[in-house]
Structure 1
């Protein structure tokens, strides 16, 4: 059956079936034409096997990005960090570029949340090695449930022509109205880093507010309802209140398991502080955020837990796990 949203009939390659990539790849396979082939590449074989077992459609596996690139017209990558992206694309033995001839015509969507400078380095290598191919930095926002639901937001950096060409592919994974061209190369990632930083800063404020309310004796559900009807409303107060029982589907309701870990959150926060340094932007919250995450990744209350578990640093042991960061 042909795709209702116009995804082209082609051979699709998807690299990275982790927390986000699994749901994204599932939606690609479900929404592209049934005649299209999908090839997946994932280092964790149990994750790869689970994908092949549970997702219907024509799916093959590749042992390396090189093998995948040799067979695919459209390549999508969803990887945990910049180091992994560089290996996947640039490794001379196993990387994507090693599997492409100079006249290859690939459409490449790099959806990982990494440093803009790393993405620009990879883009330059792709453009030099494959002048007939097209590359977009296209990080996503929304979290794991929207990745599975196919309702992500895409923040895209690149040319308008390539963006328009790629929209039907991105629409298999995200809302068509939330596919946003943010500017030229790197702009998608810069936008994503700013968005992530604002979200985590507002979450820290929410943690402080909810903890204060509980200590005062306020009902947490009523407090959150008032916040959401007032000027304190934010994405986290709507979807991820840190107090268990306030929002049924929040990470707190699962005792902060599983999900986007504090280690990954530390990484994306550092991406933003690095970006601010690179462009010479003044920062006041940056040192505070760096300090919170540095403590979280070492503290058993949060280590390897979902990122919003940092609430425990505020609510347990009278906040003794947090330090005092003073901005001069």
Structure 2
């Protein structure tokens, strides 16, 4: 079986907008797995990223650059977007001069796979405009971080009809782990799932941080405490795989002094989106005020700002990084 057949991707022209930290390796994996004769057109505002991508991605004669999203839409049949925030997504799709919808021809139906982590209201609004113009749209946020993007093991959470899910699944599998491609429900359901998961992950980390600081102040050995917790009812991903005490979990972000990973500021943004979603659907949240206050404080704390959000432990324990070890 050839690689083209294995990935089951059509021999059409693909577009990718947003060649940033996540988008760069995602687009590279996509280029590896679409048919060799297919064209990939990229669009990115940071020129250095464009040059790097062109120099590192094969086959070079099958990768080209568009200066605007409009140019992408004029050329491509399938377009993937990976952008920082909701306003960027709205601008890329709806700008009357340079946007995707300004260039999308009415003679064909383009498939848009929107992978950014943004609010559901913006995503749904863009979906409505895309659909009205005769094209197809799915929200398909990812989980797995930069390492997962490089390894091609991302989790995809997809919102849209069953028909659209089946259409984009091969694309998701080309950039993610086959077993971790989920159809979450109607349009917007992928983003809702992502936000709820991130909210729960932060709440879990907050509890783990409080618990291990309690143990620290009592004088417990954090490795022993973790061993007990991880075979008991307190066990969770953040207590076992991402313990915030350096030396407890060798592969945790704490072992890298919280460098890289899902930053405190990004976590704050996604958690705020999740709580907004909760408000929209009328869900009760007894933790809302505590969560927002803690994240706002941590995002301004030099010990956490720009670091993986699990550095919240340093903020709660009020210790410096050099004090955080077994």
Structures share fold, TM-score greater than 0.5? yes
Alignment of 1:232-271 (within 5 A): 232-271=234-273
Displacement after TM superposition at 1:199 (Å): 0.8
Match of 1:324 in 2: none
Contact 2:70–2:102 (Cα < 8 Å) also in 1: yes
Give me the whole-angstrom Cα distance separating, in 2, the residues matched to 1:297 and 1:30.
38
Give distance in 1, aligned partners of 2:30 and 2:24: 10
The offset of 1:125, in angstroms, is: 0.8
Please list the CA deviations of residues 239-281 of structure 1 after superposition, one character each: whole Å capped at 9, or x if unmatched. 3221223333322222222232222111101101111111111
CA separation of 1:299/1:184 partners in 2, compared to 1, >3 Å: closer, same or farther? same
SS at match of 1:172: helix
Equivalents in 2 of 1:150, 1:232: separation in Å?
31
- Residue 85 (str. 1) matches residue 79 (str. 2): no
Instruction: Identify which of 119, 128, 131 aligns with 2:132.
Output: 128
2:179 is paired with a residue whose SS is strand
- For residue 108 of structure 1, the aligned residue among 76, 94, 112 is 112
Q: Does the CA contact (< 8 Å) of 1:19 and 1:260 recur in 2?
A: no
Question: Hey, what does 2:324 align to over in structure 1?
Answer: none
SS at match of 2:174: coil
Q: Which runs of 5+ in 2 are unaligned?
A: 321-326
Matched with 2:167 is 165
The number of equivalent residue pairs is 316
**TM-score for both structures, normalised by structure 1:** 0.91
Match for 2:207 among 182, 191, 205?
A: 205
* 1:204-223 mapped onto 2 (5 Å cutoff): 204-223=206-225
Distance 1:191 1:154 in 2: 10
Conserved 8 A contact 1:2-1:34: no
RMSD: 1.8
Whole-angstrom distance in 1 between the partners of 2:194 and 2:22: 15
Q: 1:35 to 1:238 in 2, by over 3 A?
A: farther
TM-score normalised by L of structure 2: 0.91
Q: Structure 2: how far apart are the matches of 1:233 and 1:12?
A: 43
Q: Which residue of 1 aligns with 2:229?
A: 227
Could you say if the C-alpha distance between residues 157 and 33 of structure 1 is closer, same or farther in structure 2, counting changes exceeding 3 Å?
Answer: same
Deviation at 1:317, TM superposition (A): 4.7
- CA pair 255-29 structure 1, distance change in 2 beyond 3 A: same
Aligned to 1:2: 3
1:229–1:135 distance in 2 versus 1, CA, 3 Å: same
Distance 1:65 1:211, change over 3 A: same
Q: Within 1, Cα distance between the matches of 2:268 and 2:318? A: 21
Unaligned runs of 5+ in 1: 319-328
